[in-house]
């Protein structure tokens, strides 16, 4: 079994804790489903949020999904002029038999524009 990294992002419509939990939860669920993973396959998850998000920790959404024994950390994205606002990004380290080329990176909604080079 290999260690793989899975990327993803979602743009929030507004900075509200419930909305963040819903959208980040949807992102994590999509990452797991599209890669045939379960919570037991997760090694760790890094979350970053743009500086305009203050309502909650993105990792709280993972805990609400039942991901309780996986190390999680949140950090702030660089404040780059012209960057897409209200974005939560994910970098998950997982155990998977899939080759690196078989990993599905997930960019939901408007965040798909962040990585047009990755097929959705």
Residue 13 lies in a domain: yes
| Among 14, 16, 33, 63, the one annotated catalytic | 63
The one catalytic residue among 7, 34, 64, 100: 7
Return the H-helix or E-strand segment holding 31.
Answer: helix 17-34
The pLDDT of residue 53 is above 80: yes
- The confidence score (pLDDT) of residue 90 equals 98
Of 118, 91, 94, 90, whose CA–CA distance to 104 is shortest? 118
Residue-number span of the structural domain to which 56 is assigned: 2-115
Q: What is the predicted pLDDT for the residue at 117? A: 75
- 63 tagged catalytic: yes
What pLDDT, in 10s, does the model give residues 54-101? 999 999 999 999 999 999 999 999 999 999 999 999 999 999 999 999
H or E element at residue 64: helix 59-64
Is 86 assigned a ligand-binding role in the annotation? no
Is pLDDT above 70 for 120?
no
* pTM attached to this predicted model: 0.94
Is position 7 annotated in a ligand binding site? yes
pLDDT confidence of residue 116? 72
Question: Is residue 62 assigned to a domain?
Answer: yes
100 an active-site residue? no
Q: Give yes or no: 7 in active site.
A: yes
Q: Domain with 49 in it: what CATH number?
A: 3.30.1330.40
Q: What is the pLDDT of residue 47?
A: 98
């Amino acid at each position: 079994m290999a260690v793989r990294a899975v990327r993803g992002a979602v743009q929030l419509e507004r900075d509200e804790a419930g909305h963040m939990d819903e959208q980040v939860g949807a992102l994590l669920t999509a990452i797991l489903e599209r890669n045939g993973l379960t919570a037991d396959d997760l090694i760790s998850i890094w979350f970053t949020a743009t500086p305009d998000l203050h309502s909650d920790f993105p990792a709280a959404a993972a805990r609400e999904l039942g991901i309780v024994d996986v190390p999680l950390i949140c950090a702030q994205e660089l404040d780059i002029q012209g960057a897409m606002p209200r974005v939560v990004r994910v970098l998950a380290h997982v155990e998977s038999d899939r080759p690196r080329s078989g990993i599905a990176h997930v960019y939901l909604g408007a965040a798909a524009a962040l990585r047009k080079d990755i097929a959705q």
